[in-house]
Amino acid sequence: MTDERSDFLLTTLFQARLRPPGPPTSVEREQFFRHGLVVPDANVLLDLYRYTPLAREQVLALLRTVAGQGRLWVPYQVAAEFVRNRENVRLEQLRELSRVKRDIHERFDTAGTAIAKAAERVAHLLGEYAQDHQAGARLATEITKEAAKAQTSTWESVLCAHVTDLKNSLDVAVGTSHDQDPVFAAVAEILGDQIGAQPAYEVLRARVRDTVEYRYPNRIPPGFSDRGKGTDLERAGDFLLWAELLEKARGLPCPRRVLLVSRDTKEDWYELSPSGEPLRSLPALHEEMAAHSDATLLLQQPRAFLDGGQQFLNAEVSADTYEEVVRTVALDEVGEGVKVTESVAAALSPGYLVAEAQHTAGLVTEETHRALQVNSTFAWWLVWVTAWTGRRSPGPDEPSVSFESTTDSPENGAQLGWTSTEVPVAGGWAPVWIAPWLAAGLDASRPPDTGRLKRLIGEDVSRSS
């Protein structure tokens, strides 16, 4: 006989673990957004430098609203990381723009070489099959690498000019002192005195020792994914934040609610799907918050925080701001070497990589080109599958791609709601089930691309079967 009561001690102790994976209900979220302590992580504050002025102001306005209600606070660790890394964020923006300009020059140089080699090949064929050595010599003289670069120099200049404009448009220059930095000034004003006290040296040392000697070897969250960082102090960063947060929560009036905003979605904060997507915050975090502070916890990524602010606090958040926040998170994750998951792929174009993948896959129709432009998940899949099948060699800095796209199992396909299609596999044709974004890309294609895409899908499904 099964007792349906939910107030047994076993149920209460492990409530966070017994709860089905998934986001909290709207009613639960509302209590945190209207009444909870809101704690932005350092990465949320540092991202303010990465946003355009409009998006930045909308995020700051939401933080001001919460601060005006006396519910905004950051640990000393967060404030220290913000001050320490603000210059690095701006330097990285400049480095990225410099890398792009260098990449433009290299690719146009490569294009010039490729054009000259094509001319040499045709000149050779003219001599071999038509005995037209004069025409071949003319090609070799007229279509050189230098001539090709001269023909494309205008395009190269246009692209470089756009990059220069982007560099000049950064509204907080590298080296700007804090008293001339509008982002720093806005954050300082909003936080006011709501910053945790600096931990005493003895407390800090004990927390660091506890982190590296006990918590991380036993994979106690948060922060064990940082155990590969340089120093013990750096490795302990997430736990130092967490320890301050536990102490702060214990002093809150009841009912105690803590809303932590962070874009860190690694396995030391979240349970992850096989493809790396965050499913829910780790139950161990909720259990420690409850045991230490008698408080409840809600973790929100920046996009969800903006959504809750708009829904429950009447914050003004434009569609462009949502898109920019998601794109900023995706760009930084890729920059950190995190795998491109399905959510990252949906928010971030693979850029020039898709052109290389399209070329090596032999995809030539305008319909496929348009589909790759509007369906970035489809584009990332093509980038991955052309590298995996050996059609092209991935670059040294190319991010890895990690999400499911195909299955040959009818049960899995039906459970996922995927689309059935027939593709060539070893020994003939067979039915497979493909993800909706891949089905959309395939449906948009036209021959001969459709057949070539189906061959790639067949090779993909052979990998996962």
- Can you tell me the distance from the alpha carbon of 80 to that of 241, in angstroms, rounded to the nearest whole number? 10
CB 256 within 8 A of CB 219: no
DSSP string, 234-297: HHTHHHHHHHHHHHHHHTSPSSEEEEEE----STTTEEE-TTS-EEEE-HHHHHHHHHHHSEEE
CB 328 within 8 A of CB 50: yes
Q: What residues contact residue 103 under an 8 Å CB cut-off, 6+ apart?
A: 352
Q: What residues contact residue 6 under an 8 Å CB cut-off, 6+ apart?
A: none
Summarised one tens digit per residue, pLDDT across range 271-293 is 887 767 788 899 999 999 999 99
Question: Which has more confidence, 48 or 351?
Answer: 48
Q: pLDDT band for 450, please (50, 70, 90 cuts).
A: very high
User: Would you state the pLDDT for residue 171?
Assistant: 58
Q: What angle do CA 358, 362, 363 make, to 5 degrees?
A: 60
Average pLDDT across the chain, whole number: 87
Domain assignments of the chain as residue spans, ordered by start: 24-75+196-327, 90-169, 339-464
- What is the Cα 328 distance to its own chain's centre? 7
| Residue 207: closest CA among 235, 248, 168, 176 | 235
User: Would you state the pLDDT for residue 152?
Assistant: 87
Q: Is the pTM of this model over 0.75?
A: no
Summarised one tens digit per residue, pLDDT across range 68-120 is 999 999 999 999 999 999 888 877 777 777 777 777 887 888 888 888 888 88
Quick check: helix, strand or coil at residue 330? helix
Summarised one tens digit per residue, pLDDT across range 387-420 is 999 998 887 667 788 888 999 999 988 988 999 9
- Can you tell me the distance from the alpha carbon of 139 to that of 145, in angstroms, rounded to the nearest whole number? 12
User: Would you state the pLDDT for residue 404?
Assistant: 87
Average pLDDT over residues 303-311: 95
Token pair 């149920």 in the structure block, residue? 11
Peptide bond into 447 cis (omega under 30): no
CB 297 within 8 A of CB 281: yes
Q: What residues contact residue 318 under an 8 Å CB cut-off, 6+ apart?
A: 54, 55, 58
